[in-house]
Amino acid sequence: MKIGFIGAGIMGRPMALNLINAGHEIYTWGRRFDTVEPLLVAGATGKGTPAEVAASAEICFTMVANTTDVEQVVLGERGLVHGANPGSIIVDMSTSAPSATRRIAQELAKRRVHMLDAPVSGGQVGASQGTLSIMVGGEADIFERVKPLFEILGKNIVHVGDHGAGQVVKACNQVVISLTMEGVAEAILLARKNGVDPAKMREALMGGYANSKILEVHGLKMLEENYKAGFKVKLHHKDMGIVMDNAHENKAPLPGAELVSRQITSLMEAGEGELDSSAIMKALERLSSQ
């Protein structure tokens, strides 16, 4: 199938490569050559604008950073919408605001272009191994058309509702992830303060109900002080902004998420936006040394 793919970053690059390896024809565009080069080397065709990508493809994926980027790449001056053929599908897999997603879907519908919001969980490892969890919002028949491609990218693929529902579920995912990450960091601090080896603490917890992917993967990063991203603090900060804006719009009190948001904001203020989000441990260490 002819597929457009825009956003070959930490997540998008391995995802696009998985589609190429599955035998699909990929058309791409990037604002920097370095970003798209690995896809071109793997056989993708480069185009001059997002609109040209859309004109060549039946289904276009976007995996860019934030809501503004999605709006730019899809609806911008040279955006996908200007080349997309009627009946084609744009699938945004970035994490972006549910309200913006609904607006974009409405704009595209005016041109008879379909949209799905399909954010993911599972990180760089899930993207490389094709084991992402994919939460999809949009029309059921459009979901069915894209499903075979989702099955190349992920393992747990759930159609969760209409436009925007995928992004709402991703926000729910970020609430659980961020509170768990804060919990793991606090457990490490508490063990250390008591003179107990935090590595042994983690090992013990991994056999019980406190176990989680976050304890395994991010817990280890915290212990090793290895904050190479992974999932960047600046993206986590962006996601918590989406969570808190949506919570306020819907009058949903989220005291835990609000607290963790403040911790993540303090990392941004310390100029640590490029680190892995497990650097939330550093924010806690700073609090502890005050």
Q: Where along the sequence are the contacts to ligand NAP (CB under 6 A)?
A: 7-12, 30-32, 35, 63-65, 69, 72-73, 94-95, 120-121, 123-124, 230-231, 235, 239
For ligand NAP, the closer of residues 93 and 254 by Cβ is: 93
Chain residue whose CB lies nearest ligand NAP: 9
Distance of alpha carbon 244 from alpha carbon 38, whole angstroms = 36
Q: What is the closest distance, in whole angstroms, from the C-beta atom of residue 96 to ligand NAP in the complex?
A: 7
For ligand NAP, the closer of residues 37 and 199 by Cβ is: 37
Q: What is the closest distance, in whole angstroms, from the C-beta atom of residue 210 to ligand NAP in the complex?
A: 22
Record the tokens describing residue 288, joined without a space.
Answer: 């502890």
Beta bridge partners of residue 137, listed in sequence order: 117, 161
Q: What is the closest distance, in whole angstroms, from the C-beta atom of residue 12 to ligand NAP in the complex?
A: 5
Record the tokens describing residue 181, joined without a space.
Answer: 């990450």
For ligand NAP, the closer of residues 64 and 175 by Cβ is: 64
Q: What is the closest distance, in whole angstroms, from the C-beta atom of residue 50 to ligand NAP in the complex?
A: 8
The position carrying tokens 């999809």 is 136
Strands in 2-126 per DSSP E: 2-6, 25-28, 45-46, 59-62, 89-92, 114-117, 120-121
Give the residue numbers marked as catalytic.
170
CA distances from 64 to 100, 171, 198, 199 (A): 14, 17, 36, 36
- Name the amino acid, one letter, at 207: G
Nearest to 146 by CA among 120, 108, 124, 117: 117
Q: What is the closest distance, in whole angstroms, from the C-beta atom of residue 239 to ligand NAP in the complex?
A: 6
For ligand NAP, the closer of residues 192 and 245 by Cβ is: 245
Looking only at the bridges linking them, the beta strands covering 154-161 and 132-137 are parallel
Distance of alpha carbon 231 from alpha carbon 235, whole angstroms = 7
Residues whose CB is less than 8 angstroms from the CB of residue 119 and which lie 6 or more positions away in sequence, other chains included: 92, 93, 94, 95, 96, 134, 135, 166, 167, 169, 170
